[in-house]
Structure 1
Amino acid sequence: MKKDTREELLAVIASKAGCIYLSDVILPIYSDKVLGAIESIDENEYELKEWQETVEYIIGNKSIHIKDCKEAKEYLIHKLWKSRL
């Protein structure tokens, strides 16, 4: 079943990552846990619009165009892995 709001996806990511606040998902100290949280989420449970907004929020770039939910999840995973290096 798909969810309705961006806050729900961010809340799931934040909760799984052990973040105290939703805004903690963008902090470098949580990047490994956020990465694991995103990897554990089925991309088909959320709408493309919600994934797009989540990518924009976590990456901090509103000009990214995502074509589908799978691409959004993969993009987030790629960016978070890259930031670890």
Structure 2
Amino acid sequence: METTPSQINKQLEDPLTGEIILLNTCTRDAVTTFPSMEEKYISGYFTYIPEPAALNELQSLLKSKTIIIVLGTWCGDSREQLPYF
């Protein structure tokens, strides 16, 4: 299924909570500056130091690969783990 420009970074009000959420395909900038994600992203991304040995092992495995992250802007686990990824 192809994403049209109007679906990228689409915002929607969650009918159960009234919270604005991101939906469909989103850019990194949209996710990392989205109000419910921004605070955790800023504090986690800039302080996280990945393990060098793990990075070396992953580097060769990830050549020619595309990684798709599926997350929820309303999800505490997504808010916590995205900066480290």
TM-score (norm 2): 0.33
Higher relative contact order (CA 8 A, sep 6+): 1
Larger radius of gyration between Structure 1 and Structure 2: 2
Q: Which has the higher helix share?
A: 1
Question: Normalising by structure 1, what TM-score?
Answer: 0.33
Q: More strand by proportion, 1 or 2?
A: 2
